[in-house]
Amino acid sequence: MKKILSFFTALCFSILFAHPQMNTSVDISDSIYSVLEIARLRGLCSSLPGVKPYSEQRILIAIDEILENESKLLPTEKEVLYGFKETHTRKEGLDLWNARYRLENDAENFPLSLQIQASLETSASSGFYTKSAFNQWGFDIMPSISLSGDIGNNVSYATSVLFDLTRMPLHKMGDYFIGYSWYESDVEGFFNGTGNGDDLAKRTINKFLNTSYLPYSYQKKWGGQMYLLSNMSASGLEGWAQSLGMSGDITGEIRGSFLNNKISVSAGRGYREWAAMDDGSSLVLNKKARPFMAAEFTVELFPFLKFSGLTGILEYPNQDYINENSYASDHKNRTDDSYFFQNAFSINMIELDFKYFHFDAGTSVVWPKRFELGYIFPLTLFLEYQNHVGDYDNLALFGNVKFQKPGLGSLWASLYLDEINGLNNNPITSARAMFAGQIGTKVVIPKLPFATVSVRYTKIEPYCYTHHSINYTPWYAHYISENYTNNGEALGYYLPPNSDELLLRFNVRPKASMLTSLQYQFIRHGADYGSQQVPGSSLYSEMSPYNRDSLKKYFLRDGAYQWMHIVSIGASYDFKKTKIPFQLFGNAGFLYSYFTVIDDVVYDKRGADRNTPFHSVDTSEYPVQTGVVLTLGIKIWP
């Protein structure tokens, strides 16, 4: 009892008498995260949690630790670190040239502050291809305003409102079969759960490509509904800006840090990344995933031991333009997908971090909304807990192992285990072995400012990040989709199921104000449209409960596959010393794409096996394609 009283006494003392600080998180896309990662690889700072984003104060503490090793830093690297500290040194009053206004009180024991910041980001991208039908261009104009400040010494708040005027047309490729319906075709019976039989009707989705950007590179910033300017009414609400439209988004958080940053607690809607061994590499909660509302915490029990947990509410896809033929129709011949995507999400993770070795492991679960305390309680092993409440939810295990040599680099392996049906099935050929794996290495380049070379290989198995239909939960009388997505996009890695990627990347900062990168990607993906489409190649794919144990997978040998070679070079330059600070950024990419198929007779008879030959084709359905994609943008008051 005395220990408990001592803990709360220390907690209250830290709240009342700690030094003023900003505890809100730094945007997960900020380049400071790669700087901290490289500094860690070089042995210049201690380990940081595998849960991002970090609070501003946590980053500033890490920067001070790095600067203690100033003799090991290049002049450009010092300038980067001091520049971040200068940018985050706040002054009260109006700063017109930086579009900022800040208010503070004079109470030392309980400081209060309010900061208003405006910003503007504009970007445009265009793709030019040998098949002119794929030529497209799109743009985003995104003004935003944010409010942030401190409530006492340990708690801070922030909220940001974004408006997006955009046009981002999509190119339709065809339809994709995602499985059969095993719920009622009778509308009344379907919606109230009183029907008498299964409806084995085919379900399909529409396949679209965003050819204005390089594959898998565009990240939308707006959320919810999109108003098309051609129809500014309730009937003009759409899920995508095929023509000129406008939408917006709101992110925000309340975050507190206690006991010298050993405990971090936050609640809000924002971008996150968990368990990433390299920038954007996470298989379980990737930085490219859409934001969602959640409460989370991280406890650094010891310098080498950390524990984190999160529970939040996922957002529905709003993708009727994709999935309009994948669900039962109501009397208006249309059912909004918000009816089928009403899920919560929980995840927990433990980390062991030493000088030469890192290990983390955790569990995650997508579960239909209900008051399920076992998933909200962070010390639960979700996979085991499911045995106590019934097999109704989409659970997964994940883990990472990394070896690192300070000053040289790191080598890692990652695993996301969605589902596997016992040890008797061959994980290479059994479709019920639904998992994602990754191996990679990152090497520090000496004598170049914050320079690294990284290589990683990632494989996403068929049906990974999907889940079979649930239409028998005690809490819902109708079908519920539990795939591992938020707002229609994967929570995990950005590639779709049944794909792999070899990625090589070189990063360097020639100047403190300049970032450059050179990247090569080799991506292969099972066709999700056309006459040789491959089952399990879409986030909407669902494995039938009737024959799932007999389903097989033969990567590259069971249908059509797209092969893509992508080379891109990117750069950004900050003009912070001008009256109005701004940043220019751009990317130029080259794409070469082609398809391989198998013999039509073998495909039609479902006779593929591990020895089935494949060959390249160039048809109107599966064309050979060469393209160049150019992207330019500007951020004012970044």
| Structure confidence at residue 112 as a pLDDT band (50, 70, 90) | very high
Q: Is-contact 419 543, C-beta < 8 A?
A: no
Share of the chain above pLDDT 90, in %: 74
The Cα–Cα gap between 42 and 446 comes to: 10
Q: Is residue 373 within a helix (H) or strand (E), and if so which, with residue range?
A: helix 373-376
| Structure confidence at residue 181 as a pLDDT band (50, 70, 90) | low
- Tell me if the pTM is above 0.75: yes
**pLDDT at residue 95 is higher than 50:** yes
Both tokens of 592, joined, read 């070469």
Average pLDDT taken over every residue of the chain: 90
Q: How many CB atoms lie within 10 A of CB 593?
A: 20
pLDDT the model gives residue 533: 96
pLDDT the model gives residue 190: 40
Length of the chain: 638
pLDDT the model gives residue 4: 43
pLDDT the model gives residue 172: 96
Share of the chain above pLDDT 70, in %: 91
> pLDDT digits over 299-324, tens only?
999 999 999 999 999 999 989 889 88
| Structure confidence at residue 402 as a pLDDT band (50, 70, 90) | very high
pLDDT the model gives residue 593: 98
| Structure confidence at residue 468 as a pLDDT band (50, 70, 90) | confident
pLDDT the model gives residue 496: 97
Q: Is-contact 293 274, C-beta < 8 A?
A: no
The Cα–Cα gap between 211 and 588 comes to: 14
pLDDT the model gives residue 201: 63
The Cα–Cα gap between 397 and 571 comes to: 37
Strand pairing partners for 500?
459, 524
Q: Which of 287-291, 294-298, 332-336 has the lowest mean pLDDT?
A: 332-336
Q: How many CB atoms lie within 10 A of CB 197?
A: 11
Look-up: residue for tokens 């080379």?
567
**pLDDT at residue 476 is higher than 80:** no
pLDDT the model gives residue 339: 81
Strand pairing partners for 458?
438, 501
Strand pairing partners for 525?
499, 562
Higher local confidence (pLDDT), 226 or 358: 358
Higher local confidence (pLDDT), 383 or 627: 627
pLDDT the model gives residue 326: 80
Closest CA to 147 of 165, 133, 132, 161: 161
pLDDT the model gives residue 11: 40
**pLDDT at residue 6 is higher than 50:** no
**pLDDT at residue 109 is higher than 80:** yes
Largest CA distance in the chain: 80
Q: How many CB atoms lie within 10 A of CB 474?
A: 10
Q: Residues 175, 180, 182, 188: is their CA dihedral positive or negative?
A: positive
The Cα–Cα gap between 436 and 70 comes to: 40
> pLDDT digits over 501-544, tens only?
999 999 999 999 999 999 999 999 999 999 999 999 999 998 87
| Structure confidence at residue 549 as a pLDDT band (50, 70, 90) | confident
What is the domain partition of the chain in residue ranges? 18-90
